[in-house]
Amino acid sequence: MGDTNDSPETGNHAGVTIDREAPDAMSREPEPQAFLPLTNLAFHVLLALGDGAAHGYAIGKEVEARSGGMLNPATGSLYQVLKRLSQDSLIEQAPDADDADSRRQSFRLTALGRRVAEAEARRLDALVTVARHKRLLSR
């Protein structure tokens, strides 16, 4: 394993450091499983962007609503997660043709971000299946 430096050239994914400057890293995208498990907030952010681009405030409100208020991301923590997801190439800044306020940044899922969200959903679904088989969750 390499350095866990979180610069734009490297990213730490589940204990694996990916050097984005290395020739191999540029020629092949990391496997979605390298990003798992996601934090609750990161997964909720990816879910919020599943239907299309949104700005940070709208993402935060959707996360709060979807979690039934259990997750109420403060601006700082939300933007830290957005920054990390962006550095990991799971989301990217989206153009804002309609928005006159240039301070608002809109984000959208990348193809990799969509695959990571799907992998996390499948991982969680497998856990729910185990919980059902162990009769910890009714059908």
pLDDT of 110: 98
- Residues 123 and 84 reside in one and the same domain: yes
Which of 6-10, 60-64, 74-78 has the lowest average pLDDT? 6-10
pLDDT band at 104 (very low <50, low <70, confident <90, very high): confident
In CATH, what number is assigned to the domain containing residue 78? 1.10.10.10
Residue 34 has pLDDT above 90, yes or no: yes
- Return the half-sphere exposure (C-beta side, CA atoms, 13 A cut-off) of residue 46: 26
- Residues 44 and 24 reside in one and the same domain: no
- Residues 20 and 66 reside in one and the same domain: no
Question: Is 138 part of a structural domain of the chain?
Answer: no
- Residues 15 and 65 reside in one and the same domain: no
pLDDT band at 8 (very low <50, low <70, confident <90, very high): very low
pLDDT of 98: 62
CA 132 to chain centre: 27
- Residues 47 and 6 reside in one and the same domain: no
Instruction: Name which of 78, 79, 48 is nearest 66 in CA terms.
Output: 48
- Residues 16 and 43 reside in one and the same domain: no
pLDDT of 77: 93
Which range marks the domain in which residue 100 is found? 39-133
pTM, rounded to two decimals: 0.77
The total domain count for the chain is 2
